[in-house]
Amino acid sequence: MIYIFLCVDFDRDAAFPTLGHKHAVSKPKQTETQDILTDPEKSAEIQGSIEGFDKILSFLIQKKLPTVFYFEARTIDLISKKYPEFLKRLNQPYFEMGVHGYDHEDLVGKETGMPLESQEEFNLIKKAKDKIEELFSTKIIGFRAPYMRVSENTQKILMDLGFVYDSSIYQESDKSIVPYSDEYGLIEFPVIKTPKESLMKGMYTYLWPLFEGKRGIKEVVNNYIQLIYNSTENNSYISINLHSWHFAYNVEQNCYLSQKEIRKNAEFLIKLIVKLEEIEGVHFSTPKLWLEENELL
Ligand SMILES: [Zn+2]
């Protein structure tokens, strides 16, 4: 059996690092004045995630499709205050909740120039975990680092905070993979990046190029089918990774999309899911369910 994890990084609209700020700034807000840029909450725009994710959320609920959400705590906190009904719809037993920073921090400060001290990183991840657990009345075991960048302290911090797994590392593979345990006992669920010389031609399993119009849906579907076709190991997994706002916001054009374009993007993802579901031996799941089914939890 091959597991498929649908992984949603649930961010403020297009979270980008900004020099001199520890928190991310929404791309559509990058030209705002300093008082907005310096405020983690005011610099967060969530319109794209709300409008863009609506249709796909209905689809996931209707199918009861296991999905894992890595939440930026600020974003889900804002949603709980402004769109409580939306939060309720996200709170489904077949959805797994994980942490994706409090304000989408660049933990190593690579692009912000503001690396976090170990204690500060601990406090931030704890604050994010507590907030998300409180909003969904659940216990969180999974983490994905903002910008897929962990610091030298992250793994130990995650263990100390009771996380069981991380999913912030790319692994080159042309087939499904299995998680592994790191030196601290934290389980790593890498994200596949296919080799350049493979049939999939160096594809990150993020749907970024699909929503930015850089890869067509046919190519993306075929690449995932190829990954599954190449897979040999039982109980291995492939993840499909995407951002909550990407149905409604184009980064390169720096613009929000029309309802028609949002629908088209949602239909792309639905098509990919439906096509993969048709393949025998393919099973949609989440890392937490994988760990339970493989008796590691
Ligand atoms: Zn993110």
The residues pairing with 171 across neighbouring beta strands, listed in sequence order, are 192
Asked if 199 and 175 count as a contact pair (C-beta separation under 8 A), the reply is: no
Q: Rounded mean pLDDT of 250-259? A: 96
Q: How far is the CA of 55 from the centre of ligand 1 (A)?
A: 20
Residues in contact with 253: Cβ distance below 8 Å, sequence separation at least 6, in sequence order: none
Q: What pLDDT, in 10s, does the model give residues 147-194?
A: 999 999 999 999 999 999 999 999 999 999 999 999 999 999 999 999
Q: Rounded mean pLDDT of 247-263? A: 97
Q: How far is the CA of 181 from the centre of ligand 1 (A)?
A: 24
Domain with 56, as residue range(s), is 2-293
Residue 205: how many other CB atoms lie within 10 Å: 23
CA torsion through residues 77, 82, 88, 94, sign: negative
- How many domains, the chain? 1
The residues pairing with 26 across neighbouring beta strands, listed in sequence order, are 15
Q: How far is the CA of 45 from the centre of ligand 1 (A)?
A: 13
Q: Rounded mean pLDDT of 115-144? A: 98
Asked if 269 and 207 count as a contact pair (C-beta separation under 8 A), the reply is: yes
Q: How far is the CA of 178 from the centre of ligand 1 (A)?
A: 23
Distance CA 186, CA 85 (A): 35
Distance CA 193, CA 172 (A): 5
Q: How far is the CA of 280 from the centre of ligand 1 (A)?
A: 32
Helices (H), 214-258: 217-230
Q: How far is the CA of 78 from the centre of ligand 1 (A)?
A: 16
- CA nearest to 74, candidates 109, 48, 42: 42
Q: How far is the CA of 14 from the centre of ligand 1 (A)?
A: 8
Distance CA 229, CA 226 (A): 5
Residues in contact with 239: Cβ distance below 8 Å, sequence separation at least 6, in sequence order: 4, 5, 6, 7, 167, 189, 191, 192, 205
Mean pLDDT (the chain) is 96
Q: What pLDDT, in 10s, does the model give residues 18-47?
A: 999 999 999 999 999 999 999 999 999 999
Residue 171 belongs to domain with CATH number: 3.20.20.370
Confidence check: pLDDT of 199 > 90: no
Q: How far is the CA of 288 from the centre of ligand 1 (A)?
A: 20
Instruction: Give pLDDT, residue 148.
Output: 96
Q: How far is the CA of 75 from the centre of ligand 1 (A)?
A: 11
